[in-house]
Structures are given as structure tokens and as C-alpha cells.
């Protein structure tokens, strides 16, 4: 566009500003990442490991030992609760805000998988069930793979390099 037109329009803009028009997105950032859900699920698995590994005080244990046991157990349970809920929250956001109807063509099982994750997220809160925690992590990792696939991004599974052990799904 020639300079005269451009500069005239700029002058006009100063006198009367242009209206705002939105190249709109409900979440303008467009940033979604299942990594948070995976870390939350790994934390839940780790809390089960710590609960299983915690030494129970014997019948003759003193008060300090009993208190230390109760304190650790409550802390592990509390973190398990929080991270199971965090995991559900993160998955729900990606499911509701990121996924669009066209993604369902390639991932027709998406709704069922998300539903399963949300159920498992509740189960690991209600119980101490290491197998359910493992299932939750596996389901979240499949969800992460589906998410990246919709963006045309390949994924790889490698060592988590965390105390929990196991694998992490990462964009390749």
C-alpha cells in the first residue's frame, strides 16, 4: 500500500482510533501441555511407593516414633490427594479446551479415555491402591501421546529420571 495512503490512515487513527477486532481464542495463549498431568500422576505413584515403604511402629514404639509415622503417612496421603486432583484438572482442561471435534476422527476413543482417567483419579484418592496409581499413569501417558499426535509431534518414551522410576512420555 502506498506511503501516502498509509500515513493518511495513521493520522486518521490518531484522530479517531481504529476499532478493536479480535482474532479471538478463548484461551489466547494456545499453550497446552500434558506434561503437568504426567508429573502429577507420577507423584501419585511415588506416594504409593512411600506409603508401602514406610516402616510401621511396633507395639512397643515410643510416642516420638508413632508421631513420626503418623506425620509421614498423613503427608504422603495429603500429597496423593492433591496430585490426583491436579492430574484430573490438567486432563480436563486439555480435553475441554484444546481438543476439537476434528481430533475425534483420529482419536474416537478420546472421551472414554478421559472418563477413565477421571475415574482412576478418584479411585487413587479413595483407596491406597498401587495398581490403580500405575493404571492412572499409564492412561495419562496414552492421553499425552494422543495429544501430541494431534499436533503432528512425535513422542518418545524414556527413563523418567525421577525417584519414582519408570518412563516418561516426551515430545521427541
Partner 1 sequence: MLRRLRALLPFDRFVVEGESMAPSVSPGERVVVSRASYWFRPPRAGDIVVLRDPREPERLLIKRIDTTHGNSVEVAGDHADASTDSRAFGPVPANLILGKVWFRY
List of residues contacting partner 1 (CB under 8 A): 1, 5-6, 9-10, 12-13, 16-26, 28-30, 100-102, 151
Three-class secondary structure of residue 169 per DSSP: strand
Under 8 Å between Cβ of 125 and 85: yes
**Per-residue DSSP letter, 158:** E
CB of 21 to partner 1, least distance (A): 4
Q: Is 116 or 150 the residue whose CB approaches partner 1 more closely? A: 150
Between 17 and 108, CB nearer to partner 1? 17
Strand partners, 130: none
Min dist CB 53 to partner 1, Å, is: 43
Our CB check for partner 1 shows the closer of 76 and 147 to be 147
Select 13 or 52, whichever has its Cβ closest to partner 1.
13
Compute the least distance from the CB of residue 20 to partner 1, in Å. 6
Q: Using the 8-state DSSP alphabet, how is residue 163 labeled? A: T
Q: Considering the complex, state which of residue 103 and residue 125 has its C-beta at the smaller distance from partner 1.
A: 103
- By the 8 A CB rule, do 156 and 64 touch? no
Alpha carbon distance 137, 37 (integer Å): 9
**Sign of the C-alpha dihedral, residues 103, 104, 109, 113?**
positive
Q: Provide, rounded to whole angstroms, the least separation between the CB of residue 98 and partner 1.
A: 8
- Judged on CB neighbours under 10 Å (0-12, 13-18, 19+), 60 is exposed
Least Cβ distance, residue 100 to partner 1 (angstroms): 5
Amino acid at each position: 500500500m502506498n506511503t501516502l495512503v498509509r500515513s493518511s490512515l495513521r493520522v486518521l487513527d490518531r484522530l479517531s482510533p481504529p476499532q478493536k477486532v479480535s482474532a479471538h481464542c478463548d484461551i489466547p495463549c494456545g499453550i497446552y501441555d500434558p506434561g503437568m498431568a504426567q508429573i502429577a500422576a507420577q507423584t501419585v505413584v511415588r506416594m504409593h511407593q512411600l506409603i508401602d515403604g514406610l516402616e510401621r511402629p511396633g507395639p512397643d514404639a515410643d510416642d516420638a516414633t508413632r508421631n513420626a509415622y503418623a506425620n509421614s503417612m498423613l503427608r504422603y496421603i495429603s500429597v496423593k490427594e492433591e496430585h490426583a486432583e491436579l492430574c484430573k484438572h490438567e486432563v480436563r482442561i486439555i480435553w475441554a479446551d484444546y481438543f476439537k471435534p476434528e481430533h475425534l476422527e483420529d482419536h474416537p476413543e478420546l472421551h472414554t479415555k478421559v472418563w477413565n482417567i477421571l475415574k482412576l483419579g478418584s479411585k487413587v484418592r479413595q483407596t491406597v491402591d498401587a495398581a490403580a496409581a500405575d493404571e492412572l499413569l499409564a492412561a495419562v501417558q496414552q492421553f499425552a501421546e494422543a495429544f501430541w499426535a494431534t499436533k503432528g509431534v512425535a513422542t518418545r518414551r524414556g527413563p523418567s529420571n525421577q525417584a519414582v522410576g519408570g518412563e516418561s512420555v516426551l515430545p521427541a
